[in-house]
Chains A and B, each alone.
Chain A
Amino acid sequence: MTAHVVSAAVPALEVHDLSVAYRSQPVVWNVDFELPPGVLCGVVGPNGAGKSTLFKAILGLLPTASGFVRVLGKGFESQRLRVGYIPQRESVDWDFPTDALDVVLMGRYGRLGWFRRPSKADRALAMECLEQVGMADFARRQISQLSGGQQQRVFMARALAQQADLYFLDEPFAGVDAATERSIIDLLRALRDRGATVLVIHHDLQSVAEYFDWILMLNMRLVACGPTADTFTPENLHRTYGGRLTLLAEAVERLRAAREGRTAS
């Protein structure tokens, strides 16, 4: 509950003119938006719209072509530990030799810093987080023996263990059962209610209005970003899903080819 001395005037996240055109990643061009603290924001857009790319660029995992990011009023570097991240479930090796509790403990590594090992208090906190996602009984289970939904719950527990103020969740509902989806959305609401801002890449347009109070609509460029009630309109949906901006993609590809000395395909 320490998190919320933040004044409402300071946005939780500011993204200024962010552009990414990195190797085979989808192109994201001139994305510019702000999110206030304490919102649960869905990120929607068709396949290849650059949703994951946008997350990775904000988190500094991909080089950007231009633009900058501010988290809770300061540069991203100085605010790392206030940012939590769940990558797509398939992006990690679930046959890795470790158990559920150990994965949750990884959420503490940022605060521990270099060389230090998790303490008893970290372990207790990690167990508590597993408890919150209903996975306490599976703490010592090898992670490959967990179902898809259980693996996603473990990831959710790891995010909770990060005790962040700003979260990026890449498709936490992909391939999970209805009960897991319900329990994850409840946890996300609880995070929002204590003042955290949560961005969630989401595919099921049916549940957008029910789940999210803010919505960010993306298709290579930002189509719209704002409160769901005014923003999630048929017109914006049409602009988001109404086909790729083929000319933008082609122009950016030419730019990259020119920089790398290739002929544009």
Chain B
Amino acid sequence: MDELLRFVLLRDANTVYVVAGTVLLGIASGLVGTFALLRRESLVGDALAHAALPGVCAGFLLAGERRLAALLGGALLAGWLGTQAIALIQRRSKLKDDAAIGIVLSVFFALGMVLLTYIQTLPTGAQAGLDKYLFGSAASLVGRDVAVIGAVAALAAGAVALLYKEFKLLCFDAGLSASLGFPRGLLEAVLMTLLALTVVAGLQTVGAVLISALLIAPAAAARLWTDRLPVMLALAAAFGAASGYVGALFSSLGGSLPTGPLVVLSAAGIFCVSLVVAPERGLAARLLRRRRTNARIRGENALKHIFLIEEHLANPALVSGEDVAAHHSVGVRDALAMLEGLRRRGWVERDGAAWSLTPEGSTEARRIVASHRVWETYLARELALPPDHLHRDAEDMEHVIDRDMLGRLDEELGHPARDPHGTRIPRPEERP
């Protein structure tokens, strides 16, 4: 508890650096990752991160010491070379994107591992801590590192604010964008540079292996919550920041647990929760909608059933819960619950154990039956199907054909009086 308080109040200087670093990195990743996701280039971030590793090592070897500018410059250059190599393979061979990315990613990474191992053998190399760039080491962040991450986050936010409209058009319709005079190559290079800078900024915090998850997960989670790009950008930045904060918190509470992987796990957690609970696109919302639809279909079937019995007996008939249960192969209790639901909607009324349709219920039932029979007529005419091939299809269709579509079908068929089986087609608006 005491530790939690110390963390939340940012009591330790080191905690301040870790939290600031991971949160700022999360913001940059969310913003840049959103455009990578929309351009379907999520894997490019991964390739860039792996390609950056040999660049970092080369920068160290050239500078002879762990000089930040040399490491960043090397990483940027190697990342750029990596993306160019991918583009070249795509253009000059028959290989597809995934193969090109896979090859470049692993080859650059292998080169990086060779250089890294060599550096570890050097007297200056062992204490340089370059091996931290594999999986990150947020605990080793110092003020200067945080300043670099902050600058990258500010640059990403500034570029997105300034070039929002240009980026959006490029992602949605690159052809129109170019025809209007926004050079495609230039805009793509700007986006790629932002991606590379974010990856490089994240090397020390999250590491080359994991940074791509932080680029993709917050943006992917944000997409589930909204259909508006400005909201998606804001949410992705917020999710990225939250992942950074929660990851740093757990790392601090857990003693020696690594920050980078915890940040990535937090981002994955946010994505999983979004996948389930997001409105519209979430699994829970879909499940709920499906259950509601199924309940509606059962109700409509019960209504139709009463209508068919009444139609058959030609006098206002008395239908029991047992009749409905037998017809739908459900228990009597379920059948009664269904009928009770229809009664609450004002579609049926009860007299002792007998149920009958109200005028409103009768209208609704006629709509369903009309949908069924008009659809059978339509199939018989347009697909030339024999009468014994029509019923099953119409059993499903009657629940999705609304009044508007029924009207249009009816119109197209010239308001037929009888269906292909010779049964009269009722109309919702007719009075019994």
Taking CB atoms, residues of chain A closer than 8 Å to B279 are: none
- A117 / chain B contacts, CB cutoff of 8 Å: 164-165
Q: Decide: B172 and A93 in contact? CB cutoff 8 A.
A: yes
Shortest distance from the beta carbon of A52 to any chain B beta carbon, whole Å: 10
Say yes or no for A75: interface residue by CB 8 A criterion. no
A 218-249 to B, binary, CB cutoff 8 A, 1 in contact else 0:
00000000000000000000000000000000
Is A59 in the interface zone, CB < 8 Å from B? Answer: yes
Give residues 66-118 of A contacting B (CB, 8 Å): 77, 80-81, 83, 85, 87, 91-93, 96-99, 103, 106, 109-110, 112, 114-118
8 A Cβ contacts from A162-187 to B: none
Least Cβ distance of A118 to chain B in Å?
A: 8
A49 shortest CB reach to chain B, Å: 19
Task: Decide: B179 and A61 in contact? CB cutoff 8 A.
Answer: yes
Q: Are B162 and A92 touching (Cβ within 8 A)?
A: no
Complexed CA–CA distance, A262 and B123 (Å): 49
Tell me, rounded to whole Å, the shortest Cβ–Cβ distance linking A178 to chain B: 13
Of A80, A83, A109, which is in contact with the most chain B CB atoms at under 10 Å from its CB?
A109
Q: Does A23 contact B (CB under 8 A)?
A: yes
Within the complex, the shortest CB–CB distance from A67 to chain B, in Å, comes to: 18
Q: Which residue of B lies closest to A76 (CB)?
A: B179
Q: Are B176 and A106 touching (Cβ within 8 A)?
A: yes
CB distance from B103 to the nearest CB of A (A): 20
Query: What is the distance, in angstroms, from A264's C-beta to the closest C-beta of chain B?
Result: 15
User: Could you say which of B175, B177, B232 contacts A91, with CB atoms under 8 Å apart?
Assistant: B175
Point out the residues of chain A lying under 8 angstroms from B14, CB to CB.
Answer: none
A106 touches B173 (CB 8 A): yes
User: Which stretch (B148-156, B220-228, B242-250) binds chain A?
Assistant: B220-228
Indicate the size class of the contact surface on chain B.
20 to 34
Shortest CB-to-CB span from B361 to chain A, Å, is 32
Expressed in whole angstroms, the minimum distance between the Cβ of A42 and any Cβ of chain B is: 21
* Residues on the A chain within 8 Å of B226, using CB: 97
| Residue in chain A with minimal CB distance to B227 | A142
Evaluate whether A59 and B179 lie within 8 angstroms (CB atoms) in the complex, with A98-B168, A109-B169 already known. yes
Known: A97-B226, A97-B228, A98-B168. A115 touches B162 (CB 8 A): yes
With beta carbons under 8 angstroms apart, the residue of B171, B176, B181, B182 that contacts A96 is B171
Chain B residue at smallest Cβ distance from A116: B165
Tell whether A123 is near chain B: CB-to-CB under 8 Å: no
| Cβ-defined contact, A97 with B223, below 8 A | yes
Q: Does A48 contact B (CB under 8 A)?
A: no
A80-B181, A98-B168, A110-B181 given as contacts; is B176 within 8 A of A87 (CB)? Answer: yes
Question: Which residues in window 179-224 of B have CB below 8 A to A?
Answer: 179-182, 223
Flag if A114 contacts B180 (CB, 8 Å): no
Q: Does B273 contact A (CB under 8 A)?
A: no
The closest CB in chain B to the CB of A158 belongs to B176
Complex Cα distance, B93 from A260, in Å, reads 11
CB <8 Å contact, A96 and B91: no
CB of A203 within 8 Å of the partner chain? no
Are B179 and A80 in contact, with the CB atoms below 8 A? Answer: yes
Rounded to whole angstroms, the CA-CA distance of A209 and B393 in the bound complex is 41
For the complex, give the distance between the alpha carbons of A93 and B176 in Å: 13
Is A254 part of the binding interface, using a Cβ–Cβ cutoff of 8 Å? Answer: no
A112 contacts B179, C-beta separation under 8 Å: no
In the complex, are the beta carbons of A87 and B175 less than 8 A apart?
A: yes
- Please tell me the size bucket of the interface on A: 20 to 34
Nearest-CB residue, chain A, relative to B163:
A115
Task: List B contacts of A144 (CB < 8 A).
Answer: 227
Smallest beta-carbon distance A198→chain B, Å: 15
Chain B: CB-nearest residue to A143: B227
| With A97-B227, A115-B162: A92-B172 Cβ-Cβ less than 8 Å | yes
Across the interface, B176 reaches (CB within 8 A) one of A60, A85, A142, namely A85
Does B8 count as interface, using CB distance less than 8 angstroms? no
Chain A neighbourhood of B91, CB < 8 A: 23
A112 & B175 in contact (Cβ 8 Å cutoff): no
**Contact A97 to B229, CB < 8 A, known contacts A23-B91, A109-B169, A110-B181:** yes
Most buried by A among B171, B175, B177, B180: B180
Nearest chain A CB to B208 CB, angstrom units: 30
Q: Chain B residues near A60: list those with CB within 8 A.
A: 178-179
**CB under 8 Å from chain B, chain A span 111-141:** 112, 114-118
Q: Name B233's closest neighbour in chain A (CB-CB).
A: A97
Q: Using CB atoms, name the residue of chain B closest to A106.
A: B169
Residue among A81, A97, A116 making CB contact with B232, cutoff 8 Å? A97
25 contacting pairs across A/B (C-beta < 8 A): A23-B91, A60-B179, A61-B175, A77-B181, A81-B180, A83-B179, A85-B179, A87-B175, A91-B173, A92-B172, A97-B226, A97-B227, A97-B229, A98-B227, A98-B229, A99-B227, A106-B168, A106-B173, A109-B165, A114-B166, A114-B182, A117-B164, A117-B165, A144-B227, A158-B176
Q: Which 6 pairs show the lowest CB-CB distances between chains A and B?
A: A110-B180, A142-B227, A59-B179, A87-B175, A85-B179, A80-B181
